[in-house]
Amino acid sequence: MDENRREPRLPVEVKIDYRTVGSFITDYTRNISKGGTFIRTSLPLDVGERVRLRLTVPGGEAPFALDGVVKWVSTLRDKDKHPPGMGVEFVDFDDRVRLELERLVGMVKASGEPTSEDG
């Protein structure tokens, strides 16, 4: 897990669908930033695996898609330290997606919830 994040992660549960080679999965984020997210799952993908993500933002026009790379995983064996799941870094996104991410992060900040140190 990278403790040198460029952006703070904020706690938020957002529906996220992701596609990998041969599978399509729906889970929920645990936290998010403009640079990545932690997806809570008991079946994390491999570090380095590239995924196509689709985020459903409350109040958003429609789900938006972006690509990510799995940067670290936490398995059920690690559950005392972190919940099982994977940290995904967002990569190769355009201005529209950047604006949607900024809007989502802004909504979470405006809600006044404390920032998360997990994931």
Q: Report the distance separating Cα 78 and Cα 40, nearest Å.
A: 13
What is the pLDDT, as a whole number, of residue 101? 82
CATH code assigned at 51: 2.40.10.220
What is the pLDDT, as a whole number, of residue 117? 41
Please indicate whether residue 48 or residue 6 has the higher confidence score (pLDDT).
48
**Residues 78, 114, 33, 96, CA torsion sign:** positive
Average pLDDT over residues 34-49: 91
- Is residue 119, in this structure, part of any structural domain at all? no
Name the residue among 1, 78, 5 with its Cα closest to residue 41. Answer: 78
- Is residue 118, in this structure, part of any structural domain at all? no
The tally of domains found in the chain comes to 1
Output the average pLDDT for the chain: 81
Tokens 């997806």, residue? Answer: 39
What is the pLDDT, as a whole number, of residue 116? 42
Q: Which two tokens stand for residue 66?
A: 């972006």
Residue 58: is its pLDDT beyond 80? no
pTM of the full structure:
0.79
